[in-house]
Amino acid sequence: MHISEGVLTVPVLALGWGTAAAGIGFGLKKTSPENLHKTALVSGVLFLVSLVHVPLGPSSIHLTCLGLAGMLLGWSAVPALFVALVLQGVLFQFGGLLSLGVNTAIMGTAALTGYGIWRCGSGKVPYLFAFAGGFFAILIGSVLVTLTLALSNQDLILTAGVIFAANLPLAGVEGLISVFILSFLAKMLPDYVPRPAGI
């Protein structure tokens, strides 16, 4: 879900940076000192899990745990993602620095999708909503990548469609991973799993 350097137009890059800056700022405001350790831990997981990727045109297919990050951190997932993406860009040239704003905006929106689904419904059938949070986070992220590529270059529409289709099976896998990890944390570290209380 990382968009490579040199693919996007300047207006798209500017919009991405503006959206990312707003999300990071609000996420930092919502991050309490008590939750810094959890935010740092999730950021580390985000950094590691997406290093194993399969290149696909100007993007790649890989596990992201975006929905899970959103379910655990809420708005704090956006700055956590930003830190992970900066380290990946600087250390491994993965995603690029100019496209960092767009990548943060796309992945942050995906994480917040998982957060919204989890918080709105987790009190009823928790693991169904955990799956939905992981699944729809990837689905929304894939749609945003597709739109971003299509807006930047009409020649990338076919590639964007391939990326979207390739992410559909990944969405199911991410949903199952979210269920497994949240059920494990609920038993071992219940304080790490937020209770449903509205967005």
What is the rounded (10 degree) CA torsion for 171, 172, 178, 180?
-160
- Per-residue pLDDT averaged across 57-85, rounded? 86
Per-residue pLDDT tens over the stretch 93-129: 777 788 899 999 999 999 999 999 988 875 666 788 8
Phi-psi region of 6 (alpha: psi -120 to 50; beta: other; left: phi over 0): left
Q: Report which of residues 57 and 157 the model is more confident about.
A: 157
Per-residue pLDDT, 198: 43
- Topology (CATH level 3) of domain 10-192: Arp2/3 complex 21 kDa subunit ARPC3 (1.10.1760)
Mean pLDDT computed over every residue of the chain: 84
Number of other residues whose CB lies within 10 A of the CB of residue 159 = 18
Angstrom distances, CA of residue 197 to CA of 114, 119, 121, 122, 181: 15, 6, 9, 9, 20
Question: pTM for this structure?
Answer: 0.87
In one letter, which amino acid is 85?
A: L
Per-residue pLDDT, 199: 40
Grade residue 1 by pLDDT with cuts at 50, 70 and 90. Answer: low
Per-residue pLDDT tens over the stretch 153-195: 766 677 777 777 777 888 898 999 999 998 888 888 888 787 6
Question: If you write DSSP's letter for every residue of 107-140 in order, what string do you get?
Answer: HHHHHHHHHHHHHHHTTTSHHHHHHHHHHHHHHH
